[in-house]
Amino acid sequence: MTCREDDIFLCAFPRSGTHWTWEIINMLTTGKLEYLSQPKESAMMEFHYPEEFDNIPSRRILNTHLPVRLLPTDVKEKNLKVILVQRNPKDVLVSAFHFLQKAKLMPFEGTFDEFFKMFMKGGLRQSWFDYTLESEKAVNEKELDMHVINYEELKKNTVPTIKRLSEFLGTNCDDEYITKVAEMCSFQGMKKANDEVKDIDKFTFEKDLMKSHYRKGEIGDWKNMMTVAQSKQFDELFAEKMKDSSFKFDFTK
């Protein structure tokens, strides 16, 4: 894929806050306090051929759940900006469970315990652990121009986190503008925009599913789903798999 000099690539494991970050980045780059009518899926790399992105005006915010190694070679060659969104994996797991129960094309019809076991084994087409460790390696190797955002940091310290993102992208929006972006992209703001502004009919994706992206938007919802035993089992696997990782995850409100 031939990329433009100012393309931005947004990478995240599914359910990590991709929609949220995509909308924020659009407001930063366009300089307009408006929700885009097109949904994030319109710029999702695994859903389209490259030429389908030709009509998107610059700067394009292309997004993907694919591993970082599958980004176009231009990303490295043209030193394009890459943003990686991270979220604590217990909340990712719970969010994915709820989401996939509603998906018609790729439904998960089992129990939460069955889903939990599948996630732990690296299901969901790719393992959260593999995805995250590979992404961390890419960050550490510094071969790509990458900026990492944590869902929890964005939730708890929204304005400073968006400000750092703006500096990384060179959009240098002022504090007043960033505060308004934070307000517009609050969970409630985006949920409402998804119902009222997004032109979902233009796209061939499952409409019900497109409506179910905005569920709770909280940190620590895993506590409502996981048993003490599951949580312990998760912690043990996490400690083993992430022993060499310096990525930090925040599991509590």
Residues engaged in binding ligand A3P (CB under 6 A): 12, 14-20, 91, 95, 98, 155, 185-187, 190, 213-217, 221
DSSP summary character for residue 36: -
Max alpha carbon distance in the chain (Å)?
A: 50
Which residue from 6, 12, 24 is spatially nearest to 182, judged by alpha carbons?
24
Judged by CB, which is closer to ligand A3P: 58, or 156?
A: 156
The answer to whether 58 and 3 are in contact (CB under 8 A) is: no
**Six-digit token pair at 92?**
């990712």
Closer of 20 and 238 to ligand A3P (Cβ): 20
In the bound state with ligand A3P, the residue whose beta carbon lies nearer, of 177 and 187, is: 187
d(CA 208, CA 64): 21
Catalytic residue (one of 65, 98, 147, 213): 65
* Assigned token pair, 75: 């990303």
Nearest distance, CB of residue 78 and ligand A3P, angstroms: 26
Strand ranges for the chain from DSSP E = 8-12, 61-64, 81-86, 145-150
- Whether the CA torsion 149, 123, 39, 135 is positive or negative: it is positive
Q: Which two tokens stand for residue 129?
A: 């652990």
Can you tell me the distance from the alpha carbon of 150 to that of 84, in angstroms, rounded to the nearest whole number?
A: 8
Active site residue 65: yes
Give least dist CB 195 to ligand A3P, A. 13
For the annotated catalytic residues, the residue numbers are 65
